[in-house]
Amino acid sequence: MKNFFLALLFLLSNIIFADDNYRYFINLNKVINDKVSVQLIPPTLTQNEIEFSFPSMVPGTYEVYDFGRFISNFKVSGKNGAIIKVSKVDVNTYKISPANEIEKITYDVDDTWDKTDLPNTKDKVVFEPGGTNFEDGKNFSINTHSMFGFIKGQLNKNFILEFEKPKGYYPATGLSDIKFGDTKDIISVFDYHDLVDSPIMYSLPDTSTVLVGNTKVLVGCYSPNKKITSRFIASTLKELLNAQREYLGGELPVSKYAFLFYFIDRATLSGASGALEHSYSSFYVLPEYDSLSLQQEIRDVAAHEFFHIVTPLNIHAKEIGDFDFSNPKMSEHLWLYEGMTEYAAHHAQTKGGITDIDKLISTMMQKYENSLASFNDTMSFTYMSKHVLEEKIHTQYSNVYEKGALIGMCLDVLLRHYSDGDYGTQNLMKDLATKYGKNKSFNDEDLFADIEKFTYPEIGEFLRKHVSGKTPLPMEEVLDKIGIDFAKETITYEFSLGNSDLNYNENTNRLYVIGIEEMDDFGKKMGFKNGDELNKINGKQIKIESIKEIINDYYDTVKEGDKVTVEIYRPKGKKGKYKIKTLSAVAKKSKTVRKNQIALKQKLSDKQKQTLKAWVGV
- Whose CA is closest to 174, among 205, 195, 198, 191? 198
- Whose CA is closest to 325, among 39, 111, 66? 66
List the chain domain ranges: 22-204, 206-292, 318-483, 496-588
Q: Topology of 496-588 in CATH?
A: Pdz3 Domain (2.30.42)
- Whose CA is closest to 258, among 279, 274, 242, 238? 279
CB 56, CB 92: distance < 8 Å: yes
State how beta strands 139-142 and 184-189 pair: unpaired
Identify the pLDDT of residue 82.
92
Is 586 in a helix, a strand, or coil?
strand
Mind giving me the DSSP string for 365-391?
HHHHHHHHHHS-TTS-HHHHHHTTTSH
| % residues pLDDT > 90 (the chain) | 77
Side-chain-side CA neighbours of 512 within 13 Å: the count stands at 16
Identify the pLDDT of residue 429.
95
What amino acid is encoded at 270 in this protein?
S
Average pLDDT, the chain: 91
Which residues make Cβ contacts (< 8 Å) with residue 371, sequence separation at least 6?
377, 399, 402, 403, 406
Residue 534 has phi, psi (to 5 degrees) of -85, 130
- Whose CA is closest to 413, among 401, 396, 425? 425
- Whose CA is closest to 279, among 248, 321, 340, 236? 321
H/E element holding 487? strand 484-494
State how beta strands 178-179 and 207-212 pair: unpaired
Which residues make Cβ contacts (< 8 Å) with residue 122, sequence separation at least 6?
116
CA distance linking residue 203 with residue 138, whole number of Å: 6
- What average pLDDT does this structure show over 341-365? 94
| Residue 367 pLDDT greater than 90, yes or no | yes
Identify the pLDDT of residue 588.
86
CA distance linking residue 472 with residue 296, whole number of Å: 31
Identify the pLDDT of residue 592.
76
Report whether CATH 3.40.50.12140 matches the domain 22-204.
Answer: no
Is 540 in a helix, a strand, or coil?
strand
Residues in the chain: 618
CB 340, CB 425: distance < 8 Å: yes
Is 573 in a helix, a strand, or coil?
coil
Q: What is the pLDDT of residues 128-149, one digit of tens each?
A: 999 999 999 999 999 999 999 9
Q: What is the pLDDT of residues 33-45, one digit of tens each?
A: 889 999 999 999 9
Q: Topology of 318-483 in CATH?
A: Neutral Protease; domain 2 (1.10.390)
- Whose CA is closest to 35, among 120, 121, 140, 129? 140
Identify the pLDDT of residue 507.
84
| Residue 207 pLDDT greater than 70, yes or no | yes
- What average pLDDT does this structure show over 410-428? 97
CA distance linking residue 187 with residue 136, whole number of Å: 21
- What average pLDDT does this structure show over 321-325? 93
| Residue 24 pLDDT greater than 70, yes or no | yes
Q: What is the pLDDT of residues 109-123, one digit of tens each?
A: 999 998 777 766 677
Identify the pLDDT of residue 618.
65
Query: Within 10 Å of residue 364's Cβ, how many Cβ atoms?
Result: 21
Instruction: Please tell me if the domain spanning 22-204 has the same topology as the one spanning 496-588.
Output: no
Q: What is the pLDDT of residues 171-195, one digit of tens each?
A: 999 999 999 999 999 999 999 999 9
CA distance linking residue 315 with residue 444, whole number of Å: 11
Identify the pLDDT of residue 281.
96
Identify the pLDDT of residue 506.
79
- Per-residue pLDDT band for 586 (boundaries 50, 70, 90) equals very high
- What average pLDDT does this structure show over 299-327? 92
CATH number of 206-292: 3.30.2010
Please state the pTM of the whole predicted model: 0.82
CA distance linking residue 608 with residue 618, whole number of Å: 12
Identify the pLDDT of residue 11.
41
- Whose CA is closest to 297, among 274, 265, 272, 263? 274
